Amino acid sequence: MDPRQRPLLHRRLGVLKALAWSLVAGLILIYAWLQLVRHGEFQQLAMQQAVKIRPIAAPRGLVLDRNGHRLVDNRRALHLVIQREDLPTRADVIESLALALELDPAALARKIQSYRFAGKGRPLVLKENLDDAGIALAERVRSRFPFLSVDVAPRRVYLGDELAGHVLGYVGEVDEELMKAKPGVFRLGETIGKEGFEASGNDKLKGVDGQRRILVDQLGTEVAHFGQTDAVAGRSLYLTLDAGLQKILQDAYGEEAGAAVVLDLRDGGILAMYSSPSYDPNLFLNRLSQEMVDRYLNNPTRPMLNRAIQGIYAPGSTFKLLVALAGLEKGVITPQTVIYCAGKKNFYGRDFRCDKPTGHGGLSLVQAIAQSCDVYFYEVASRMDIDDLYATAEKYGFTDRTGVDLPQEKRTRIPSRAWKRKAAPKDPKWYAGETISVGIGQGAVGVTPIGLARFYAMLATRGKVLTPHLFYGFRNDQSNELEPAPVPVPRDTPLDPRNWATLDEGLYEVVQGGTAAANPLIREIAREAPFVGKTGTAQVATFVDKSHYARQAKHLKDHALFAGYAPRDRPQIAFAVVVENAGFGSTAAAPIAAKLVKYWFVDRVRNPLPPPRGRMVDPFAPPAEAAP
Give whole-number Cα distances, 106 to 81, 94, 144, 227, 481, in Å. Answer: 18, 9, 20, 42, 53
Left if phi > 0, otherwise alpha if psi is -120 to 50, otherwise beta: which for 227?
Answer: left
Binding to other proteins by residue 106, rule CB under 8 A? no
User: Residue 412 CB, nearest distance to other proteins (Å)?
Assistant: 60
- 16 lines the binding site for other proteins (CB under 8 A): yes
Question: Should residue 602 be labelled a site residue for other proteins when binding is judged by CB under 8 A?
Answer: no
Nearer to other proteins, 33 or 431 (CB): 33
With binding defined as CB under 8 A, does residue 24 bind other proteins? Answer: yes
Residue 32 or 136: the one with the smaller Cβ distance to other proteins is 32
Helix intervals (H) in 442-484? 449-460
Q: Which is nearer to other proteins, 17 or 421 (CB)?
A: 17
What's the min distance (Å) between Cβ of 6 and other proteins? 9
Nearer to other proteins, 31 or 340 (CB): 31
Q: CB of 18: closest distance to other proteins in angstroms?
A: 10
CB of 217 to other proteins, least distance (A): 4
SS3 call for 98: helix
Cβ closer to other proteins: 116 or 266? 116
Residue 317 is a catalytic residue: yes
Neighbouring C-alpha atoms within 13 Å toward the C-beta of 356: 15
Percent of the chain as helix, strand, coil, to the nearest 5: 40, 20, 40
* Stretch in the footprint of other proteins (CB under 8 A) among 32-40, 446-454, 486-494, 598-606: 32-40
Instruction: Give least dist CB 259 to other proteins, A.
Output: 57
At its nearest, how many Å lie between other proteins and the CB of residue 617? 54
Separation of alpha carbons 303 and 143, rounded Å:
43
In the beta sheet, which residues pair with residue 536?
Answer: 561
CB contact at 8 A, 178 and 93:
no
Contact stretch for other proteins (CB under 8 A) within 9-17, 101-109, 550-558, 614-622: 9-17
Judged by beta carbon, residue 4 or residue 551, the one nearer other proteins is 4
Q: Which stretch binds other proteins (CB under 8 A): 24-32, 135-143, 394-402, 587-595?
A: 24-32
Considering only residues 231 through 260, tell me which ones interact with other proteins, judged by CB under 8 A.
none
Considering beta carbons, is residue 20 or 185 the nearer one to other proteins? 20
Instruction: Answer yes or no whether residue 227 interacts with other proteins by CB under 8 A.
Output: no
- Applying CB under 8 A, does 118 fall inside the site for other proteins? no
By C-alpha distance, which of 492, 416, 497, 418 is closest to 457? 492
Among positions 28, 423, 489, 602, the unique one binding other proteins when judged by CB under 8 A: 28
* CA-angle at 143, arms to 138 and 149, nearest 5°: 50
Is the Cβ of residue 226 or residue 547 nearer to other proteins in the bound state?
226
Is residue 120 within the footprint of other proteins (CB under 8 A)? no
10 part of the interface to other proteins, by CB under 8 A: yes
Name the segment binding other proteins (CB under 8 A); options: 34-42, 142-150, 323-331, 498-506. 34-42
Q: H helices of 534-598, where?
A: 590-598
Distance CA 285, CA 198 (A): 13
* CB of 45 vs other proteins, minimal distance in Å: 5
With binding defined as CB under 8 A, does residue 624 bind other proteins?
no
Q: Is the dihedral of CA 364, 369, 372, 374 positive or negative?
A: positive
Q: 226: closest CA among 350, 53, 76, 96?
A: 53
Catalytic residue among 317, 372, 416, 586: 317
Q: Smallest gap, in angstroms, from Cβ of residue 188 to other proteins?
A: 22
**H-run or E-run covering 172:** strand 171-173
Among the listed ranges 5-13, 88-96, 255-263, 562-570, the one in contact with other proteins (CB under 8 A) is 5-13
Nearest-CA neighbor of 106 among 139, 133, 81, 114?
Answer: 114
Q: Of 117 and 426, which CB lies nearer to other proteins in the complex structure?
A: 117
* Alpha-carbon gap, residue 271 to 199, rounded angstroms: 19
Q: Are strands 491-492 and 464-465 parallel, antiparallel or unpaired?
A: antiparallel
Tell me how far, at minimum, the Cβ of 30 lies from other proteins, in Å.
5
How distant, in Å, are the alpha carbons of 182, 550, 561 from that of 547?
58, 7, 21
- The span from the CA of 265 to the CA of 271, in Å, is 10
9 binds other proteins (CB under 8 A): yes
Instruction: State yes or no: residue 12 binds other proteins (CB under 8 A).
Output: yes
Site for other proteins contains 89 (CB under 8 A): no
Find the distance separating the first CA and the last CA of the chain, reported in whole Å.
Answer: 95
196-225 positions binding other proteins, by CB under 8 A: 215-219, 223
- Pick out residues in 46-85 that bind other proteins (CB under 8 A): 46-47, 49-50
Q: Should residue 41 be labelled a site residue for other proteins when binding is judged by CB under 8 A?
A: yes
Tell the smallest beta-carbon distance from residue 220 to other proteins (Å). Answer: 10
How far apart, in whole angstroms, are the C-alpha atoms of residue 334 and residue 352? 23
Do residues 460 and 264 lie in contact, with contact meaning Cβ atoms separated by under 8 Å? no
328, with CB counted inside 10 A (0-12, 13-18, 19+), is buried
Polymer length in residues for the chain: 628
Instruction: In angstroms, give the least distance from the CB of 113 to other proteins.
Output: 19
* Number of DSSP helices (H) and strands (E) in the chain, helices first: 24, 23
- Identify which of residues 35 and 301 has a Cβ nearer to other proteins in the complex: 35
Q: Total residues contacting other proteins (rule CB under 8 A)?
A: 40
52 versus 330: smaller Cβ distance to other proteins = 52
8 Å CB contact between 568 and 232: no
- Looking at residue 577, its amino acid is V
Which residue in the set 36, 133, 544, 624 belongs to the binding site for other proteins (CB under 8 A)?
36
Catalytic residue positions, numbered: 317
Q: Which residues bind other proteins (CB under 8 A)?
A: 1-2, 4-5, 8-10, 12-13, 16-17, 19-21, 23-24, 27-28, 30-32, 34-36, 38-39, 41-43, 45-47, 49-50, 215-219, 223
